[in-house]
Amino acid sequence: MWGTFRVWDARLTSVFILFLIYLGALRFQKLPVEPAPISIRAGPIDIPIIKSPVNWWNTSHQPGSISRSGTSIHVPMPIPILSNFANFPFSTRILFVLETRLPIPSFPESPLTEEIEAREGIPLKT
């Protein structure tokens, strides 16, 4: 609904809490003590809390569109959603293969290259 006061909306507040958890994890990584793993483990606990408030409480957001009991979205829309879910693993694998097949940049010759070649007996030039 447009013009609705959303300051303490359940979904927005839970996303803000997750933002604070991850900011704390980033901040604590530089400390010698180990509180960062605690906040990193607390982050995934907040994800179901972000997803479910629209079904738990009366919020200004619409309820979930896709559930186990069915969908409330328009009939042609599940086709692109499912194709995206199916395409994602394949496209990430293709991008990974293409990225790893790139040539490794060569470094400029070091004055120690000839000494290493003589000592090891293995030519370092390719």
How many residues belong to the chain? 126
Q: Is residue 96 part of a domain?
A: no
Q: Is residue 108 part of a domain?
A: no
Q: Is residue 47 part of a domain?
A: yes
Domain coverage including residue 14: 1-61
Q: Is residue 97 part of a domain?
A: no
DSSP 52: S
pTM of this prediction?
A: 0.48
Q: Is residue 45 part of a domain?
A: yes
Tokens of 116: 């290493």
| Domains in the chain, number | 1
Tens place of pLDDT per residue across the chain (126 aa): 566 666 677 778 888 888 988 888 777 777 766 666 776 777 788 888 877 777 777 767 676 777 777 777 888 888 888 899 999 999 999 998 888 876 666 666 667 777 777 787 776 655
Q: Is residue 95 part of a domain?
A: no
Distance CA 80, CA 95 (A): 21
